[in-house]
Copies of this chain bind each other. A is one copy, B any other.
């Protein structure tokens, strides 16, 4: 058993131990489901009363006792009828409902029993397994929080109480995880987003529709500047497309048949239904098809930071991470089959370049494939093409040298894709973006180029968005940098702090010279103490503070204090300007403190 599977079995087992503890505390508890999740497990219960935080300590204590008792996990398979009877007798209606479904599907029903040293069965749960050997081998566990959940996620069903637990192989791993969570809470993009005046939400505008305040708009502008540079040198052309379109375009693209549930309702006028666009691709396809194309101009690459709208359930909305309006670093590459490999590799290189610029040290790619059952439903019904293009992408990924896994049933409706996961500086995982091969839609749109032999050929299309959406990526960056952005990204790059109003003229002069070079600089002209000014600048995490006192004025110097390194150094005025411009121009990562 590899490390990952071992951890999975531990967490599974920990969930059983929790359920045993809950039944010990509330014998009448009804068990829901208890799956493994990213950092542990949860279990849903119907209970006679609402849990309070203190209950978690009691349950944790009970779990520790069970763990100490080293009860063996023993697997048992029973015939369906006997199972139903047993679950009914145990008064576990949710489990019984599941068991009857499994049986109807012809599945084998297995149970795991916790058996103590005396051979006595202390707890039994219907479960596929696998499990740890005994309850003593489930590593380090901590119950984290209580939440509400409906049985099977449906609000028409009974409401259950969900208990979350973290579970790791060692105490040290658990401790590191808890520290990471604590740090993540400090770095919460919603909290920092407000404090650093990056974005705001408004009830009057609507949920999931962030407004970028000036500081956030700066970051978005800088990201776009970076993307435009990279895309310019990568041979992309920019396009710009409207945010609404007639329904027929989305019928043709397949969005309405395959994607309607994520779309906004239509606006009806002139006897036409207009939709907010959920994706930019159909518009780019129209521009590709807007003129005759020759093999000489292939590949054609259209880039747009395009605004899309998706109707997410209001309960699923979360800060910048899950929104209803998003601005995407989108592009579509139309290429021949021979060009596909080079183009796909070039996209992977762009990802790697960005990872370097943003100091993203850990990332993983996943090849998402179709599944057979989804053909004609979730996926266009072209099995042969699926298999062939999946193999093409697999080959290119191997060539790229980037580590990747594979997952069935996760493809886009028009072709296989690469999903990219990145980890922030504190080790939290984010789904960044995708890189997709589309073999289906160019044909639907009748897109062609005239090949060397004078015949019309259909291009392949690569959909890519390495910087994801502004919303998601800036949300990630806030956590990644804890709001202390590298100078090139910082909303205010330099703040000039005169020790007293006597030095204001020189402070303004320094600021004006920096501003003339495009540096985002502010002068703190409040008549407050230097200490207060410094605290104000630190609160806003401004990378450079230039303290201006008598000596600085006399010698045309600046005393520059770096937020990241916490070091203070004296520079000549021009010397500082040169240094900071170099830092901005090279998009340097923050100095370590």
Chain A residues within CB distance 8 Å of chain B: 197, 200, 202, 204-207, 209-214, 216-218, 220-221, 228, 232-233, 237-246, 248-249, 252, 264-270, 272, 274, 276, 283, 286-287, 290-291, 296, 302, 304, 307, 309, 311, 314, 325, 327, 515, 518, 525-526
- A276 contacts B267, C-beta separation under 8 Å: yes
Which residues of B are found within 8 Å of A238, using beta-carbon distances?
214, 217-218, 221
Would A204 and B245 be within 8 Å (CB), given that A211-B283, A290-B213 are in contact? yes
Which residues of B are found within 8 Å of A217, using beta-carbon distances?
237-240, 304
Which residues of B are found within 8 Å of A213, using beta-carbon distances?
239, 287, 290
Which residues of B are found within 8 Å of A526, using beta-carbon distances?
296
Would A211 and B197 be within 8 Å (CB), given that A264-B267, A269-B265 are in contact? no
Tell which of B200, B214, B291, B307 touches A237, judged by Cβ atoms closer than 8 Å: B214
Tell which of B210, B240, B291 touches A211, judged by Cβ atoms closer than 8 Å: B240
Which residues of B are found within 8 Å of A268, using beta-carbon distances?
265
Integer count of this chain's copies in the complex? 2
Would A209 and B267 be within 8 Å (CB), given that A200-B287, A204-B252, A286-B202 are in contact? no
- A267 contacts B266, C-beta separation under 8 Å: yes
Instruction: Kindly provide the distance from the CB of A450 to the nearest chain B CB, expressed in whole angstroms.
Output: 14
Tell which of B206, B265, B304 touches A245, judged by Cβ atoms closer than 8 Å: B206
- A243 contacts B325, C-beta separation under 8 Å: yes
- A286 contacts B240, C-beta separation under 8 Å: no
Would A269 and B311 be within 8 Å (CB), given that A205-B286, A209-B244 are in contact? yes
- B212 contacts A241, C-beta separation under 8 Å: yes
Cα distance, A325 to B307, chains bound together (Å):
14
Which chain B residue has the least Cβ–Cβ distance from A264? Answer: B267
Instruction: Kindly provide the distance from the CB of A540 to the nearest chain B CB, expressed in whole angstroms.
Output: 13
Which chain B residue has the least Cβ–Cβ distance from A252? Answer: B204
Cα distance, A216 to B240, chains bound together (Å):
8
Which residues of B are found within 8 Å of A325, using beta-carbon distances?
242-244
Instruction: Kindly provide the distance from the CB of A229 to the nearest chain B CB, expressed in whole angstroms.
Output: 9
Cα distance, A584 to B369, chains bound together (Å):
48
Cα distance, A525 to B272, chains bound together (Å):
45
Which chain B residue has the least Cβ–Cβ distance from A202? Answer: B286
Cα distance, A416 to B499, chains bound together (Å):
45
Which residues of B are found within 8 Å of A232, using beta-carbon distances?
518
- B205 contacts A290, C-beta separation under 8 Å: no
Known pairs A265-B269, A267-B267. 15 more at Cβ < 8 A? A200-B286, A202-B286, A204-B245, A204-B286, A212-B241, A213-B287, A213-B290, A214-B239, A217-B238, A218-B238, A233-B515, A242-B325, A243-B307, A244-B264, A265-B267
Would A205 and B246 be within 8 Å (CB), given that A214-B302, A291-B197 are in contact? yes
- B239 contacts A212, C-beta separation under 8 Å: yes
Instruction: Kindly provide the distance from the CB of A188 to the nearest chain B CB, expressed in whole angstroms.
Output: 19
Cα distance, A345 to B243, chains bound together (Å):
35
Instruction: Kindly provide the distance from the CB of A521 to the nearest chain B CB, expressed in whole angstroms.
Output: 11
- B239 contacts A205, C-beta separation under 8 Å: no
Instruction: Kindly provide the distance from the CB of A117 to the nearest chain B CB, expressed in whole angstroms.
Output: 56
- B205 contacts A249, C-beta separation under 8 Å: yes
Which residues of B are found within 8 Å of A307, using beta-carbon distances?
242-243, 307
Cα distance, A218 to B246, chains bound together (Å):
26
Instruction: Kindly provide the distance from the CB of A52 to the nearest chain B CB, expressed in whole angstroms.
Output: 32
Instruction: Kindly provide the distance from the CB of A193 to the nearest chain B CB, expressed in whole angstroms.
Output: 12
Question: Would you list the 8 A-B pairs with minimal beta carbon distance, nearest first?
Answer: A214-B237, A212-B240, A217-B238, A209-B242, A242-B325, A204-B249, A205-B245, A200-B290
Which residues of B are found within 8 Å of A304, using beta-carbon distances?
217
Instruction: Kindly provide the distance from the CB of A511 to the nearest chain B CB, expressed in whole angstroms.
Output: 12
Cα distance, A520 to B214, chains bound together (Å):
31
Which residues of B are found within 8 Å of A211, using beta-carbon distances?
239-242, 283, 286-287, 290
Which residues of B are found within 8 Å of A276, using beta-carbon distances?
243-244, 267, 276
Tell which of B200, B244, B248 touches A309, judged by Cβ atoms closer than 8 Å: B244
Instruction: Kindly provide the distance from the CB of A255 to the nearest chain B CB, expressed in whole angstroms.
Output: 13
Cα distance, A283 to B325, chains bound together (Å):
14
- A209 contacts B245, C-beta separation under 8 Å: yes
- A204 contacts B246, C-beta separation under 8 Å: yes
Tell which of B207, B221, B246, B291 touches A206, judged by Cβ atoms closer than 8 Å: B246
Cα distance, A245 to B302, chains bound together (Å):
29
- B283 contacts A205, C-beta separation under 8 Å: yes
Which residues of B are found within 8 Å of A237, using beta-carbon distances?
214, 217
- A204 contacts B242, C-beta separation under 8 Å: no
